Structure 1
Amino acid sequence: MTIAPVAVFHSPFSSKFGIPKQSGVVETLKGEIVFLPAYRNPDALRGLEAFDYLWLIWDFNANRHHAGSLMVRPPRLGGNKKVGVFASRSPFRPNGLGLSSVKIEMIEWASNRGPVIHVLGADLMNGTPIYDIKPYVTYTDAHVNARSGFVDTNQWQRLQVVMSDEVHAFLLSRGFDEERIAALKQVLEQDPRPPYQDNPDKIYGMPFMGADIHFRVKGDVLTVLAL
């Protein structure tokens, strides 16, 4: 089967580093779904305004090798314990397909880019090809009491983010507003570092909305450094 993108995702992330490890964990993170010319017809979205969430099927296009080992190391397990690729959400998959649930913030029906879907909570990099879009339906897609394997027994620990007034003012000068700064802090709370790195002296850099965010982590405190 040959598949082709129907849309491209626009995101604050120009690289993989820092992207939330799952959709929905940073609920205020904004993104846009911009359709390719062949699909820029409002008829293709008719009825979508009655739904709150979407499923996105997309391409891990930033991964050089899709088909790797059949065993992977999930970040939730510290990056040092293996499980089967089909028992994980690892981006290194046989066919490199991603699946994310995102919230519809609004639908821009008429623009110079055609209809645009504005969404919240995505875990996609800027420029990611989207192959299909399906509405989220609660009576089949929500399973409240379902088990979640190793996720149930290995809780993700959020970091405390410290940002000085100087850094805050700099971000405002670069076009960030308070809402975007809050989203950045929520992204950093998720600990963007590779799970096997815990060097309190190492300075990390993360591109976000055109700014290069530098930070250091000591214990459970992440400090954003002068930019």
Structure 2
Amino acid sequence: MQYMIETIAVVHSPYKQKFGIARQPGLVSAAEVCIELNPQFSADSVRGLEHFDYIWVSFIFHGVIGEGWSQLVRPPRLGGKQKTGVFSTRSPHRPNHLGLSLLKLEKIECGKPVKIFCSGADLLDSTPVIDIKPYIPFAEAKPDAAAGFVNGKPEELDVIWANHINKTRLSVTEQNLISQSIAQDPRPAYQDIPDRIYVMNISKHEIKFKIQGKQAEIIDIVSLESDI
């Protein structure tokens, strides 16, 4: 059977490319997004939502639709070498490319359009949203549940900034976003090339960094905005 699903909102995110996005929600607390509802949704559609701390956001992995999907995938948590079934992972390469993220609800602006602001996001800019639901702790929090091959949070990298970088031109939020994102080690699980320079676009900046062992060094930051 086939069903028609229409998007209800679009995400405005500091992550402008897939590389560098946290692999799970909540890992980068400084990753703040705005979910902008379509014009047909008024303040009535979010009445009462402000009383919840977290929301479930159902969305489409629009950035990988053209890459297809496979029944077996290689999760980063397994080193990118072992295969497991796609339905036992959160891989974006799924039959219907649907995603689900639990985000911290920060505030709601009931203007035209209605805007929902969240933190701890793992969403690409312009992500289409298909549904929003409140998180209910007593029904959905199962801290003692078996988690398969996912054993706790991934180990984070120690992030340092090269001495020549002028961090004062960045806001504290931008500094935290960059550091927290790189700390998640965005490299493919099988890749370990100490001399390689990685490039990540976050918000209005292009960040260049290297990773050696358990340490990442930010070596350059270039503004993507024209001064003209």
Bin for the TM-score computed over the shorter chain: over 0.9
Tell me, in whole angstroms, the C-alpha distance in 2 between the residues paired with 1:79 and 1:167: 33
Change (3 A) 1:165 1:178: farther
**Partner deviation per Cα, 1:68-102 (whole Å, 9 max, x = no partner):** 22000101111111110011111100110000000
In the TM superposition, residue 166 of structure 1 has moved relative to its aligned partner by: 3.2
**For 2:144, what is the secondary structure of its paired residue?**
coil
Q: Which residue number in structure 1 is paired with residue 212 of structure 2?
A: 218
What TM-score results when the alignment is normalised by the length of structure 2? 0.92
- Tell me, which stretches of 5 or more residues in structure 2 are unaligned? 222-228
Tell me, in whole angstroms, the C-alpha distance in 2 between the residues paired with 1:197 and 1:36: 40
Q: Which residue number in structure 1 is paired with residue 181 of structure 2?
A: 187
Cα RMSD (Å)? 1.4
What TM-score results when the alignment is normalised by the length of structure 1? 0.92
In the TM superposition, residue 63 of structure 1 has moved relative to its aligned partner by: 0.4
Q: Which residue number in structure 2 is paired with residue 47 of structure 1?
A: 48
Runs of 4+ in 1 over 3 A off after TM superposition: 64-67
**For 2:65, what is the secondary structure of its paired residue?**
coil
In the TM superposition, residue 134 of structure 1 has moved relative to its aligned partner by: 0.4
Matched residue type, 1:148: A
In the TM superposition, residue 67 of structure 1 has moved relative to its aligned partner by: 4.6
Q: Percent of aligned positions with the same letter in both sequences? A: 40
In the TM superposition, residue 155 of structure 1 has moved relative to its aligned partner by: 5.7
CA contact (8 A) 1:203 1:215 kept: yes
Q: Which residue number in structure 2 is paired with residue 116 of structure 1?
A: 115
Tell me, in whole angstroms, the C-alpha distance in 1 between the residues paired with 2:153 and 2:117: 30
Tell me, in whole angstroms, the C-alpha distance in 2 between the residues paired with 1:88 and 1:43: 36
In the TM superposition, residue 64 of structure 1 has moved relative to its aligned partner by: 3.3
Aligned length: 219
CA contact (8 A) 2:52 2:135 kept: yes
In the TM superposition, residue 180 of structure 1 has moved relative to its aligned partner by: 2.0
- Tell me, which stretches of 5 or more residues in structure 1 are unaligned? none
CA contact (8 A) 1:160 1:220 kept: yes
